[in-house]
């Protein structure tokens, strides 16, 4: 399964022990699940002894938390940049936020899958911190949909529910995207940007009518 999905290029990964363990854990969690993976599984996959992990991470739980935290923070930053570059128009903000989110999740479907399937395996304290990150990302989408609804650009009667559906839809690309498929990530991202506008009930040409 690992060979058929998009993952980080090994050439781009630092040779530091911490980075090697980070990506080894990601691959093992993806293939076997968090609870089906042992510390020995992770370390032996990169030729380390089990004890070597503890020089970099306190536990397997610490590794999972690092993976989830990193991926969500990068998602937040990518989405923020996309929205800022889109300008003030809510439709542009939503389109580019959705497009960015698809591109990020398609850039490493292995890590995305681990983050979204194994957040449940975090301790309550760690999960609360990561859920707060996820909420920060969600609010950026909420803002675009709510603003567009208020000014008549979007017609959905359920702006917050629509926003959640859009984020869920874009995140789920990681469950099926394969680099060997017929569409590039950019093409998929464009399609999902358009679908996000459709879900929000975008009134095409409304901005032109106002002006």
- Using DSSP's 3-state secondary structure scheme, residue 190 falls into helix
Question: Quick one: tokens of 127?
Answer: 């999960």
Q: pLDDT of 165-188, one tens digit each?
A: 999 999 999 999 988 889 999 999
Q: How far apart are CA 112 and CA 116, in angstroms?
A: 6
> Taking the complete model, does pTM exceed 0.75, yes or no?
yes
- 136 or 3: which carries more pLDDT confidence? 136
DSSP 182: S
- pLDDT at residue 205, as a whole number: 57
Contact 143, 202 (CB under 8 A): no
- pLDDT at residue 150, as a whole number: 96
Q: How far apart are CA 189 and CA 143, in angstroms?
A: 20
- pLDDT at residue 23, as a whole number: 94
Number of H helices, E strands in the chain: 9, 0
Q: For the residues of 114-160, what is the DSSP string, one character each?
A: HHHHHGGGS-HHHHHHHHHHHHHHHHHHHHHHHHHHHTTSB--S-HH
Positive or negative torsion for Cα 37, 127, 193, 162: positive
* Average predicted confidence (pLDDT) for the chain: 90
Q: pLDDT of 22-61, one tens digit each?
A: 999 999 999 999 999 999 999 999 999 888 889 899 999 9
Among 95-104, 144-153, 173-182, the range scoring the smallest mean pLDDT is 173-182
- pLDDT at residue 203, as a whole number: 86
DSSP 202: B
């Amino acid at each position: 399964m690992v060979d058929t999905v998009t993952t980080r290029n090994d050439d781009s990964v630092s040779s530091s022990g911490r980075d090697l363990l980070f990506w080894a854990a990601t691959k093992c969690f993806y293939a076997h699940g968090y609870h089906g993976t042992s510390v020995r599984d992770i370390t032996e996959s990169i030729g380390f002894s089990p004890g070597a992990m503890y020089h970099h991470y306190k536990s397997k739980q610490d590794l999972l938390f690092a993976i989830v935290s990193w991926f969500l923070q990068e998602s937040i930053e990518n989405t923020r940049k996309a929205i800022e570059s889109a300008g003030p128009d809510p439709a542009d903000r939503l389109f580019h936020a959705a497009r960015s989110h698809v591109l990020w999740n398609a850039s490493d479907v292995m890590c995305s899958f681990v983050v979204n399937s194994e957040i449940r395996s975090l301790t309550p304290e760690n999960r609360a911190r990561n859920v707060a990150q996820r909420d920060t990302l969600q609010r950026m989408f909420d803002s675009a949909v709510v603003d567009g609804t208020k000014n008549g650009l979007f017609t959905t009667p359920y702006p917050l529910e629509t926003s959640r559906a859009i984020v869920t839809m874009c995140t789920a690309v990681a469950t099926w995207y394969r680099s060997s498929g017929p569409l590039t990530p950019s093409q998929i991202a464009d399609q999902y940007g358009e679908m996000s506008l459709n879900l929000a009930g975008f009134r095409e040409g409304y901005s032109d009518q106002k002006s």
